[in-house]
Structure 1
Amino acid sequence: MAGPNSFYGPLDPAPDAGYVDAPPRMGFFTDTSVCIGCKACEVACKEWNLVPDDGFNLLGTSYDNTGGLTANSWRHVAFIEQPAAGSGHGTDTPGAFAGMPTGPSASAHTAVVAAGTSQDTGTDPGVPAAPDALAAAATITAPGAQFLGMPGADLPGRTMDAPRSDFRWLMMSNVCKHCTHAGCLDVCPTGALFRTEFGTVVVQEDICNGCGYCIPACPYGVIDQRKDDGRAWKCTLCYDRIGDGLTPACAKACPTESIQYGELDELRSRAAHRLEKLHEQGVAEARLYGHDPNDGVGGDGAFFLLLDEPEVYGLPPDPVVTTRDLPDMWKRAGVAALAMAATIVVSFAGRRR
């Protein structure tokens, strides 16, 4: 019989951990194609979970002030600036950023405001919302009609005649993956890490002894220790909120719904539909990451839609649960021990003769 976190292919982790009549598995789907890098998720996570401040020392080369997931940054908004073809700063791939995701067309009222907004200052001179003005604006095509943060896109009313296309920002809100097969659970000696009835993985800070075994056991490098107390900390997927039927703080605060929370099976279906739409728009590089229950960690409880290779976002291309081979290793160690014991017995028996 499979143990509480054994590696025997796809499984539903909560029932496997012993929960009877467990609720549906909950998780995150993060659509990076609509992330605008506002960091509202970082702030909401810190405020709700009382996570200490972090990231005031700017890295100097990016708007990314936190740099990665740490014990004091359970959500990390990455900013990846990529030079475009012909910019003299990198790739020579023709049309490198062509066909990026498009968003909904601007409403008539938004088009009026955009048409009357200074491109130099971004100030709104005051546009009357008269019915005739709105009707006239219905014929205006919003420049670019792209999501904020996408290549060549800008705030409404500030898009220039020749949208900037020499670079693009890839933005991604990273978080603990709440793996189906979690190596951190396997190695924790105190039971501080546990699987919840929602299939998520939580650290109980009052039980953690600071041994740090879980840190190298995580294939994503998510878990970290605080320097002042040595204990391990990471995202709990707002276990206290979802238990009361509430949305996790980060997803609640996300203004573009880049972070979506819900039943994992429904999120996977939604993500597949979104990926199909992007491919229809010509965004061939769009891909899902962490959604496959047959991958090296049995699928993630928090998965992503990416617009480039996982390595670009600092994610391992083929993550594997670090404790996957432990059962076979113990078996081999047991066989070796028995063989050694048998050799010793035979050796002593031979001497007595």
Structure 2
Amino acid sequence: MTHAHAPYDDDRPLSRVLSGPEPDPAGDAGHPEPPPRVGFFTDTSVCIGCKACEVACKEWNALPEDGLKLSGMSYDNTQELGASTWRHVAFVEQTRPAPVPAPDGRTELPLAGDGGGSGADPGGEGGGMRWLMSSDVCKHCTHAACLDVCPTGSLFRTEFGTVVVQEDICNGCGYCVPACPYGVIEQRPSDGRAFKCTLCYDRLGAGQEPACAKACPTESIQFGPLDELRERAALRVDQLHEAGVGEARLYGHDPEDGVGGDGAFFLLLDEPEVYGLPPDPVVTTRDLPAMWKHAGAAALALAGGLALSFALPGRRGSR
């Protein structure tokens, strides 16, 4: 089924359409009485790096193979999201303090920094290491620049508030690639068309959860109504803080951020840059109204200058 991105039919200024809080992206895209917006909450604190999500995504969506060779970056063979990798599990290695003996004799690797952190001396006595594992995916932004710049309607907003690429009408222009503030979308070298995560749109239409969330054995990837996920995530952060994991923080959950909040957000145990995420993403089409305003002023100034240049010789000749 082919869908087109419906134009906004209200009287809001363009700057309001392209940025800022947006409580109903599906409704504003033209879907009458849409269901609650859904998305992903990825709790990286319980990710074990099993890559079940990567495999499930490839199997369900029939994605071409890639990343069969180890990259030399820990156990990360796919390295980043791309046209054929819609889920990417990152393995970030950090040196940490020595393991902490638990009261019952078990050994626990500390999650909290407790004087260690990534700057700990790996050669020090009892020095340890931890992995930060995280399954990355398209963020399904509230304000999706990829959708805004697509000239063919290949990208569209679904009734679930997600953003999908229709590869059958993609003309391979590539405008969406630099527009994405997360670097998610990529064109396949074989035909130039753009691809990315669809949040299993076909499964959602059948009342099923996405394949990656279904396959995750630790519930690191959680799927559901976005408002419920945000509440659940806030409680999880409080739980970790009470347990002494002061580094826990949410990323992409805030509707006031530069993309209006993400449909796929994360609980992180370190700064976003450590996971390869931009610290302050901004929708790249946010400044279009100001750019057009300045371009219009420049055009008027140029036209005025040209008119004056033609008028002056005539005045001189009349003398």
TM norm. shorter chain > 0.5:
yes
Aligned AA for 1:47?
Answer: E
Structure 2 counterparts to residues 70-219 of structure 1, below 5 A:
70-85=82-97, 143=106, 166-219=128-181
Task: Find the aligned partners of 2:235 and 2:100 in 1 and give their Cα distance.
Answer: 21
Residues 169 and 242 of structure 1, relative CA distance in 2, 3 Å threshold: same
* Partner Cα distance (1:4, 1:263) in 2: 27
1:143-164 alpha-carbon deviations (Å, 9 max, x no partner): 3588xx979xxxxxxxxxxxx9
| Paired-residue identity, % | 71
2:192 to 230, 237, 242: 230
Q: Tell me which residue corresponds to 2:64.
A: 52
Instruction: Out of 227-236 and 57-66, give the one that drifted further.
Output: 57-66
- The one-letter code of the counterpart of 1:249 is A
Residue in 2 aligned with 1:251?
213
Q: 1:41-92, CA deviations, whole angstroms, 9 ceiling, x for partnerless residues?
A: 0011001111111110111341111111111110000111111137xxxxxx
User: Would you say 1:6 and 2:46 are equivalent positions?
Assistant: no
Who is 2:116 aligned against?
A: none
Q: Which amino acid aligns with 2:262?
A: D
Q: Distance in 2 between matches of 1:302 and 1:5?
A: 22
Partners of 2:14 and 2:34 lie apart in 1 by 17
For residues 93 and 107 of structure 2, the distance between their equivalents in structure 1, rounded to whole angstroms, comes to 20
The alignment of Structure 1 onto Structure 2 pairs a total of residues equal to 290
Tell me how far apart the structure 1 counterparts of residues 150 and 16 of structure 2 sit (CA, whole Å): 12
Equivalent of 2:37, from 25, 31, 49?
25
**Long gaps (5+) in structure 1:** 87-96, 103-139, 152-163
- Counterpart of 1:68 (choices 62, 80, 85) is 80
- CA distance in 2 between partners of 1:18 and 1:2 (Å): 17
User: Which residue in 1 is equivalent to 2:119?
Assistant: none
How far apart are residue 252 of structure 1 and its match? 0.6
Deviation per CA, 1:95-127, whole angstroms, max 9, x where unpaired?
xx879xx9xxxxxxxxxxxxxxxxxxxxxxxxx
Do the aligned partners of residues 224 and 141 (structure 1) sit closer, same or farther apart at CA in structure 2, a change above 3 Å counting? same
Residue type at the aligned position of 1:27: G
Q: Is the 8 A contact 1:150 1:169 kept in 2?
A: no
Gap regions ≥5 residues in structure 2: 1-11, 113-125
Cα distance in 2 for partners of 1:257, 1:291 equals: 18
Q: CA deviation at 1:344?
A: 2.5
Q: Secondary structure at the match of 1:6?
A: helix
Q: Give me the whole-angstrom Cα distance separating, in 1, the residues matched to 2:86 and 2:287.
A: 29
Question: 2:100 and 2:241 mapped to 1: Cα distance?
Answer: 13
Letter in structure 2 aligned against 1:45: C
**CA distance in 1: counterparts of 2:108 and 2:95, whole angstroms:** 21
Q: Which residue of 2 aligns with 1:299?
A: 261
- Using a 3 Å threshold, how does the CA distance of structure 1 residues 324 and 266 change in structure 2: closer, same or farther? same
- Does the residue aligned with 2:106 lie in a helix, a strand or coil? coil
Q: Are residue 268 (structure 1) and residue 230 (structure 2) matched?
A: yes
Kept in 1: contact 2:141–2:259 (CA 8 A):
yes
Whether the aligned pair in 1 keeps the contact of 2:14 and 2:289 (CA below 8 Å) is: no
Confirm or deny: 8 A CA contact 2:39 2:264 kept in the other structure: yes
Distance 2:88 2:38 in 1: 20
Equivalent residue letter for 2:53: C
CA distance in 2, matches of 1:34, 1:165: 23
Q: What TM-score, normalized by structure 2, do the two folds share?
A: 0.85
- Aligned Cα root-mean-square deviation (Å): 2.5
Name the SS of the counterpart of 2:17 in structure 1.
coil
In 2, Cα distance between the equivalents of 1:53 and 1:236?
18
8 Å CA contact 1:3, 1:16 repeated in 2: no
* TM superposition shift of 1:337: 1.1
Instruction: Give how far 1:142 is off.
Output: 8.7
Contact 1:2/1:8, CA 8 A, preserved across alignment? no
Structure 1 partner of 2:55: 43
Q: Counterpart of 1:241 in 2: which secondary structure?
A: helix
| Separation (CA, whole Å) in 2 of partners of 1:218 and 1:189 | 15
Distance 2:14 2:221 in 1: 32
